Each structure stands twice: as C-alpha cells, then as structure tokens.
Amino acid sequence: SKDDSAFWLYSSGSTGFPKGCVHLQHDMTYCTEYYGKAVLGITANDITFSAAKLYFAYGLGNNLYFPFGVGASAVHFPGRPLPEDMFKVVEQYRPTIFYGVPTLYAGMLALSDANKRFDFSSVRICVSAGEALPADILRRFEDTFHVEILDGIGSTEILHIFISNRAGEIKPGSTGKLVPGYEAVIADEKGVAVPQGDIGNLLIKGDSITAYYWNKHERTKDVINGHWIHTGDKYYQDEEGYYWYCGRSDDMLKVGGQWVSPVEVENALIAHPAVLESAVVGDLDDDELVKPKAYVVLKQGQEPSEALAEELKTFVKQRLAPFKYPRWIEFLPELPKTATGKIQRFILRDTGRTEPLDAPTEL
C-alpha cells in the first residue's frame, strides 16, 4: 500500500552522525506533484541535470523520480561536480532544469569568462538547496547567465524542497514561500507560534515526512510530534509570506545579549569581491564571551593577509550592526562540507581560536 515502507535515505551528516530516514511508498509521488509539477512546472519536454547524486534526497528527486514521474529525460554525471565540468555537460546535453548548491553556483561565477566560453542557454530554470543562497550570488548569476535560480529548503526527513522561491517571484536572500501540500509554524522553545517577523523554530507538516529514524526511537520522538516535524532551523516570515533563513538552531549566536544569525554575517562577507565562501561560528574572547568568528575562502588570485582580514571586518561593520562583525577571520583553502555541499559548521565550532583548522580532506 502507499503507507508501506519503500526506501531509506541517510541524512548528509551536516550536524553530526548521519541518520537513516525511512520513507513510504507515496512520498516520491507527493513531492513530484507538489514541488516538481506545481513549482518547477516539469513536463515530459524537460531534460534535468543535477549536480547532487541519486543517493542524496535532493538528487534523488531532481534526477530520478521527478523526470520519471512526468516522462522527462535526465542527464547523469558520475564525477565530482566541478564548475567547468558542469558547463561542459550543459553545453553537450542541453538540459532545461539545472540543480546545484550555493557553493557550486559561486564556483561557476568565479570561472573566467564562463558566459562567453560556454553555452548555458538551454537551461530555463536553476534550483538551489542545501545551504541558503546568498542574494549577491543569485543576482550575479542571473545577470551573467540570464536565468533565475529558485532557492529553497528541503531535508532528508521531508524528502525534498518544502519552501521555495517561484519563477518571476524571487525575493533575493529569502527561501521563498511554502510549497503546496505543506504547512509551517514558526514557534518559540515552548512550541507556541511567534508573531510575524520574529525569529523562531521552523516546524513543518506534510505527507512526505519520514515515518521514523531507523534504530533511533528516542530521536524520532524528539523530532516528530504527531503530524509535525522540527526541522532544527531558525526562521522568520515577512509580511508578504516569504521565509527568511537565520541558521540552524545550534548555529545561532548570542552576542551581547542579542541574537546574531551566522547566515547574515556570511552573506555580508560574500558580498566582498575577494571572498568566494564563508562560514561563521561562535568563539570565546578573552573574557569568555561569545563573539562571531569567520572562516573565509578567497577567490582565485586573492592572497590572505592581516590587512585583508581587517578590511573584511570593516566591510561587515559598514553593512551590519557593529556587534555582528567577526572578531576573528581565518583563511582556509576550502570549508569542510558534506558530500551534498553543506558546510559542516560543527567541525568549525569544535576548532578553538588557538588551534588553526587543518585543510579539510576531499569529500
């Protein structure tokens, strides 16, 4: 029946050890109808190409059951999703829907004269998930390649994207609006809905939610409450119904008694022309008080220096409230990520200010 167990997917491990999510027979159909068809408008005439592989929830929908569900075609690439290779595949196989992650889109923008060297014109829409897509990357990509990126949030537990921007209705920096078939509540620590505009915990209701975590009964009870699942994300909703990501619940920083969203600081850093990527975590100053610390990956041709670190601090101060700027900036060749491209902030949090982080191994 539609309620029988069908398949397991393991979470990517962005917050720690991966968990096995048991999904049911009807979950794929649900996501195809409400996201694939209703949001993307996927039809039999489309050709999909996903940088994320099939063994991840994002890639499984993108390149397997969405195209299968409507009779579309799919392009599969076995190698690592390097920016130049993505362009070459698009040019050769002419997909109409391209699925990536923010890190990949940033890398594609960083390639010299990519819009002149490669033909990207077959792509009618791009999709981003895995991490919040910085507004600066979205705008530059659209200006350069003349195609919109629909940023959204999904999870292994909910199987695919449940909040998304829509074509022609994008609010840069936001995650978008609810996907049909899903409900959301932004609640305080007691589970009470907060006023519109206030930051709280995101809870989601929808019929694609995992039945349970395999062999983790207590964790299942902690996360799933009846029809609702705690996503572990901090959000607020604006007056137009758009949802704005503030960070994972355990990523938020309390600085001087005020909450700081690491995503907000990261987006400010990424707007600097020398910065390719950034990740912000909390660290303790000499008084044992939490302050923001930024790990920064520079664009090709840029060299790390104390002067650049100070310039970046000033750059953030000019754009955000003064208490939000990173007190320390450490330059890395790359950030620790899961295989799906999510930044593993827990690795960065576990690294003390006096212990420089080793360059992460290839994931």
Same domain, 220 and 337: no
From CA 318, how far away is CA 349, in angstroms rounded?
Answer: 26
Please name the residue that has the structure tokens 């969405």.
Answer: 66
From CA 130, how far away is CA 13, in angstroms rounded?
Answer: 12
From CA 309, how far away is CA 358, in angstroms rounded?
Answer: 19
From CA 174, how far away is CA 191, in angstroms rounded?
Answer: 23
From CA 157, how far away is CA 12, in angstroms rounded?
Answer: 11
Same domain, 156 and 304: no
Q: Which of 216, 248, 280 is the last residue before a domain boundary?
A: 248
Mean pLDDT calculated for residue range 19-48: 97
Handedness of CA 196, 197, 201, 202 (dihedral sign): positive
Question: Which domain CATH number covers 341?
Answer: 3.30.300.30
- The one-character DSSP state at 62 is I
Q: What was the pLDDT predicted at 6? A: 94
Number of neighbouring beta carbons within 10 Å of residue 362: 8
97-100 and 47-50 beta bridge pairing: parallel
Give a yes or no: residue 295 inside a domain.
Answer: yes
Same domain, 100 and 137: yes
Q: Which of 226, 248, 270 is the last residue before a domain boundary?
A: 248
Domain around 341: 253-349
Same domain, 146 and 172: yes
* 3-state DSSP percent of the chain in helix, strand and coil, to 5: 25, 30, 45
pLDDT exceeds cutoff 90 at 258: no
Q: What was the pLDDT predicted at 12? A: 66
Supply the mean pLDDT for the chain.
91
Same domain, 285 and 345: yes
Q: What was the pLDDT predicted at 358? A: 36
Q: Give the number of domains in the chain.
A: 2
From CA 124, how far away is CA 147, in angstroms rounded?
Answer: 6
Handedness of CA 109, 95, 245, 212 (dihedral sign): negative
Same domain, 266 and 237: no
Same domain, 84 and 213: yes
What pTM was computed for the model?
0.82
Same domain, 305 and 221: no
Give a yes or no: residue 274 inside a domain.
Answer: yes
Confidence of residue 249 (pLDDT cuts 50, 70, 90): confident
pLDDT exceeds cutoff 90 at 363: no
pLDDT tens-digit map of 155-183:
999 999 999 999 999 999 999 999 999 99
pLDDT exceeds cutoff 60 at 355: no
Same domain, 270 and 243: no
pLDDT exceeds cutoff 70 at 72: yes
Same domain, 49 and 194: yes
Alpha helices in the chain (DSSP H): 27-31, 57-60, 66-70, 83-93, 102-110, 114-117, 135-145, 217-223, 262-270, 306-317, 345-349
From CA 360, how far away is CA 328, in angstroms rounded?
Answer: 20
Q: What six digits make up the tokens of 274? A: 């020398």
Confidence of residue 351 (pLDDT cuts 50, 70, 90): low
Confidence of residue 349 (pLDDT cuts 50, 70, 90): confident
Mean pLDDT calculated for residue range 125-152: 95
Question: Strand 212-213's sheet: what is its strand order?
Answer: 5-10, 20-24, 212-213
From CA 248, how far away is CA 280, in angstroms rounded?
Answer: 12
358-363 LR contacts (CB < 8 Å, sep 24+): 359/332, 359/333, 359/334, 360/332, 360/334, 360/335, 360/336, 363/336, 363/337, 363/338, 363/339
pLDDT tens-digit map of 262-300:
989 999 999 999 999 999 999 988 877 889 999 999 999
pLDDT tens-digit map of 74-97:
999 999 899 999 999 999 999 999
Question: Which domain CATH number covers 163?
Answer: 3.40.50.12780
Confidence of residue 103 (pLDDT cuts 50, 70, 90): confident
Same domain, 94 and 33: yes
pLDDT tens-digit map of 183-234:
999 999 899 999 999 999 999 999 999 999 999 999 899 899 999 999 989 9
Q: What was the pLDDT predicted at 255? A: 87
Q: Which of 231, 248, 265 is the last residue before a domain boundary?
A: 248
